[in-house]
Structure 1
Amino acid sequence: MKAVSIFSIPKDLPVHERQKRRHMLASLGIAWLVMMQVMMFAFPGYFRGDYIGTESLAMLDAAIIIMNWLSFALTVPVLLYCAWPIWQGVFKKSSAHSMRVNMDWPVALGILTAFIPSVIATVSQQGEVYFESVSMFVAFLLTARYLEFCAEQSARYSEGGVPAKLDQERTIMTAKADKIAFVFVIVQILLAIVSGIVWYLFIDRAHALPVLVALFVMSCPCALSMAVPTASSAARAIFFNNHSFTPEQQEFVLNLTRKTANQNLYGSLAWHILMAPLAMFGLVAPWVAAITMLVSSLAVAWNSWRLYKKFHNQGFIGSPDWTAGKAVQG
């Protein structure tokens, strides 16, 4: 029997869940296609400084205006269709007793902070546009959420051979991750606002908006929200593929799961803490901030996948003779 993976589609997955998965993948694909095209349209603007004082500047400016309008036309469907779950999340009511962070608020702020000034600059034909950063942010965000969703699906519908204690551990780890993410988002948003004001009033007004956008983009706790679901899904895949673990072996896997979740959580947090001062000093462009968000999310997914592969590659999955104390060396 083929081993179940961390992101595999469970055999008993309901039709509506399969459709939701396909819809997310379609939105993700459209966002990536638009992102690549808008990045191509943004290239003329990157080289404008090299043509100042030359006869070609007027022609280049005319090309930039056209490219900006094309980028605007492509970005609008991304915001209205691909990013629709974000706008839904902004207005979604949460439980009064829930500590879970609504990450859609900082995401929405980051998108609007970059998109609205870009539209004004396009219409007035003056100033910088950030359509490539907006499309990149949405594409990378959807990538992170798709990985998280697949891990959640795998965890929910792959139940065989999974000890009940894993769900208890997952609840505890999720509560801790939510509290950390909540503090992180609040601090990051405050840093973004204060940094934007400081740049606007005391340093360089023209650079205040990029700093604000970059910090808003980095305030999205995507990697933090993936920390526990991906680690838990990896553990479920391990248990699902081996029903003969002894209690000691189960506890060993649970310990590794906690370790992996903590690595995901604190590793991604350290990455954002490292990047935040660079963004505050104006050294991180909005599109670079979007890439850092993707890198941290992919690192979390990879680390959880690594937990599963340690067992899979060394032949522990499906091996009833595996004994505690000999598992996963190195």
Structure 2
Amino acid sequence: MIGGMKPASIFSIPSDLGAQERLQRRHMLARLGLAWLVMMQVMMFAFPGYLRASYVDAETVDTLDTAIIVMNWCSLLLTVPVLLYCAWPIWRGFVGRDPHDTHQQSMNWPIGLGIVVAFIPSAIATFRQSGEVYFESIAMFVAFVLTARYLALAARQSAGAAFDQRFDQESRLLAKTADRVGLYFVSIQIALSIVSALIWYMFIDSDHALSVLVALFVMSCPCAMAMAVPSAQAAARAIVLGSPPLSQKALIALRAQTVRVARRSLYGSLLWHLLMIPFAMIGLVQPWLAAITMLVSSMAVAFYAWHFYKNYTVGKPVGAGTVAINSSSA
């Protein structure tokens, strides 16, 4: 209700949210929770592998090798439900259009490719009991992707269809821009990933080529870019809900600021990815670190939208049909 109680969060559940949308959010939250639980456990299982390089005596190394084999099998068993259940929306978007997924299909391709490229060699290495495994990177990647998508879903639901009509033209233009930027970014990033991996395999270090490929695939996910528009809209709606009835002039000012916030989030996240890509290409970014960089960009977009919501203040009416606007985010 306009002029009612101010929402506690731009990602809160609207009181008028339909049953289907609530069910969609619950399913996403269940997948997200399981992915995070498995991620933490698999990271613990990967710990013996991190320790192995620190020891040189044969007895300790043999003990760690045995522990690594056991932990790899445990990690494999835990990663399978993450792939089959938690990542199910990704696979639906990977092979075809998911009616419940508002992300473009192009965004699911790098995610799916990154998971497949990391999982198959890891499973083979587990069966052979030799080689690198990336189960912790897979679990982190899925958990972080679902986190970004849950925030985007919550932001879209919080914005609401009725509110979107007020920002209809701006929303369509910004959404098309975000889709176009994301498509170009993903296409170029996938090409760079393959070329970089081939260069590593043929000329630098063939053993490290897979790690470079997986890291670059992970970083090609434009999750933060997909959040830019809905998170800004959700913040604007929360501002309207917590304010007195706004005049047309006040709404125009709010729309303009919402567009600025969305654009800054979109191009800021793009810049972050572009800055991190060279480090991944030269082998300085491991797949798990690439997943963290992706999460950082998504959380930054969410935080900026929250900052916009908290700092954009609507003053008391100063005249008939007029509202004073003050924004520290401008």
Q: TM-score scaled to structure 2, two decimals? A: 0.92
Alignment-mate amino acid for residue 3 of structure 1:
K
What is the aligned partner in structure 2 of residue 271 from structure 1?
A: 272
Aligned pairs for 1:237-276 (under 5 A) are 237-242=238-243, 244-276=245-277
SS at match of 1:102: helix
Deviations 1:6-64 (A, max 9, x none): 11211111112111111111110110000000000001001111223432111110010
SS at match of 1:6: coil
Alignment-mate amino acid for residue 31 of structure 1:
A
Aligned match for 1:44, one of 42, 48, 71 = 48
Offset of residue 102 of structure 1: 2.7
Q: Is the 8 A contact 1:245 1:320 kept in 2?
A: no
For structure 2, the 5+ residue unaligned runs are none
Q: Distance in 2 between matches of 1:89 and 1:202?
A: 35
Q: Is the 8 A contact 1:27 1:81 kept in 2?
A: yes
Q: Is the 8 A contact 1:7 1:151 kept in 2?
A: yes
- Cα RMSD over matched residues? 2.1
Deviations 1:236-257 (A, max 9, x none): 2222333521222111111111
Alignment-mate amino acid for residue 170 of structure 1:
S
Deviations 1:72-124 (A, max 9, x none): 000000000000011111122489xx994531111000001111000000000
**Are positions 1:211 and 2:212 aligned together?**
yes
Alignment-mate amino acid for residue 133 of structure 1:
S
**Are positions 1:106 and 2:110 aligned together?**
yes
What is the aligned partner in structure 1 of residue 60 from structure 2?
A: 56
Aligned pairs for 1:112-261 (under 5 A) are 112-156=116-160, 159=162, 162=163, 164-242=165-243, 244-261=245-262
Q: Distance in 2 between matches of 1:204 and 1:10?
A: 52
Q: Distance in 1 between matches of 2:97 and 2:57?
A: 55
Q: Distance in 1 between matches of 2:89 and 2:166?
A: 32
Q: Distance in 2 between matches of 1:57 and 1:164?
A: 64
Q: Is the 8 A contact 2:167 2:255 kept in 1?
A: yes
Offset of residue 163 of structure 1: 7.8
Number of aligned residue pairs: give it.
321
What is the aligned partner in structure 1 of residue 6 from structure 2?
A: 3
SS at match of 2:53: helix
SS at match of 1:327: strand
Aligned-pair identity (%): 55
Q: Is the 8 A contact 2:103 2:226 kept in 1?
A: no
In 2 relative to 1, CA 94–243 (structure 1 residues): closer, same or farther, beyond 3 Å?
A: same
Q: Is the 8 A contact 2:261 2:305 kept in 1?
A: yes
**Are positions 1:76 and 2:80 aligned together?**
yes
More strand by share: 2
Offset of residue 325 of structure 1: 6.1
Alignment-mate amino acid for residue 237 of structure 2:
R
Alignment-mate amino acid for residue 167 of structure 1:
D
Q: TM-score scaled to structure 1, two decimals? A: 0.92
